[in-house]
Amino acid sequence: MKKRFKNLFVVALMLCPLVFAIQACDESTPGCTTVALADCNDHPITHDVYYADSDGDGFGDPAMRNCQCFPSGDYVVDTGGDCDDTDDAIYKGRAEECDGADNDCNGVVDDIDEDGDFFSACRVSGERIDCRDDDPNSHPRAEELCDGIDNDCDDEIDEGCP
């Protein structure tokens, strides 16, 4: 009887990590790192959030998360923020490009604005672009000045100047 109990205990220990590896996260366990569950030996263990990373870019789909002790199965990265997990060139924090996609996952497509004048350096929906994204005084709605620069981005320099 003692040997059978010992074998059963060993099997339970082997299966225990599998039970915790599929523990789903929910709103009552934000981050899952503050939740202490007990393993088979009644020792406290903590779980971390892991995300599925279908495109292999190192950033996971925030909708595909799971609490587990370690990366396993589809849940292999601990960094979320991938707004398009089918494209490895799109993830949170990436530099934006003028390509019709939201490369940096901030919810805005082609929003390159280095000078902070609220005009994109990318052509969006046929609108004129910020012709000098290094100068906040040059953009499609700027007033043309007589300074040798195309301030209003209409491809003409100093029009209307003497």
Note down pLDDT in tens along the chain; length 162 residues.
444 434 333 333 333 343 343 444 444 544 444 334 444 344 455 567 888 899 989 898 888 888 777 787 888 888 888 999 999 999 999 999 988 899 999 998 888 888 999 888 887 666 668 999 999 999 999 999 999 999 999 999 999 888
Among 101, 102, 53, CA closest to 92: 102
Q: Are 145 and 156 in contact (CB under 8 A)?
A: no
The torsion angles phi and psi of 115, rounded to 5 degrees, stand at -95, 0
Instruction: Tell me, rounded to whole angstroms, the distance of Cα 46 from its chain centroid.
Output: 24
Three-class SS state of 13: helix
Residue 109 CB neighbour total at 10 angstroms: 16
pTM: 0.57
